[in-house]
Structure 1
Amino acid sequence: MSDKNIRPVGPPTKHQLALMIWLCVFPTLALLNLTLASWLGPMSPLLRTFVLATIAVPIVIYGLMPQLHKIRIRVLTARSNS
């Protein structure tokens, strides 16, 4: 099939984006919590949240979300070509 017949994949819907964000954020926070538990333990909940967010947000935004967007595009493109 030629590239002319392939329609570009639009941006994710709100529901797709919410799921994608959850799929990135939850495992990242869980892994960070498990990995840094002894270091985070003595901190106040507010400081612990700040530290986790400061580490997790760049991982999610620059590392995981672009990969998940690529996977979504591949899946939707493959589905439309079937």
Structure 2
Amino acid sequence: MTANTPPAPSVHRRALITWLAVYPTITVALGLLGPATAHLPLLLRTLILTAIVVPTAAYAFIPALMKANTALSRLPR
């Protein structure tokens, strides 16, 4: 770790960041896909939902929230 690298957030903060990325993503995806996939078996609906939510959260929202966390952590107290 260099002098400019902030410490990694705690496991509790990472869990919160993950939840903040996943919950709204699942909510929006279910709202959009729910009616179109309602006739499908549960396992297939879950597969479709997770195929969309996991990459979206992992590659877009979690990194953005981690950057925001770093910026907020650097603010003077």
Which residue of 1 is the match for residue 19 of structure 2?
Answer: 22
RMSD, aligned α-carbons = 1.4
Relative to the length of structure 2, the TM-score reads: 0.89
After TM superposition, give the deviation of residue 7 of structure 1 in Å: 5.3
Instruction: Report 1 or 2 for greater relative contact order, CA contacts < 8 Å, sequence distance ≥ 6.
Output: 1
The alignment of Structure 1 onto Structure 2 pairs a total of residues equal to 75
Deviations 1:12-47 (A, max 9, x none): 211011111111111000100001111110111111
How far apart are the structure 1 equivalents of 2:4 and 2:33?
A: 44
What is residue 32 of structure 2 aligned with on the other side?
35
Question: Which of 65, 70, 73 lines up with 1:76 in the alignment?
Answer: 73
| Residue equivalent to 1:59 | 56
Sequence identity (%): 29
- Is residue 31 of structure 2 the alignment partner of residue 46 of structure 1? no
The reply on whether 1:9 has 2:12 as its aligned counterpart is no
Per-residue CA deviations over 1:38-64 (Å, capped at 9, x if unaligned) read: 111011111111110000111001110
Which ranges of structure 1 fall in alignment gaps of 5 or more residues? 1-5
In structure 2, distance between residues paired with 1:13 and 1:42: 41
Q: Which runs of 5+ in 2 are unaligned?
A: none
TM-score, structure 1 length as denominator?
0.84
Amino acid at match of 1:8: T
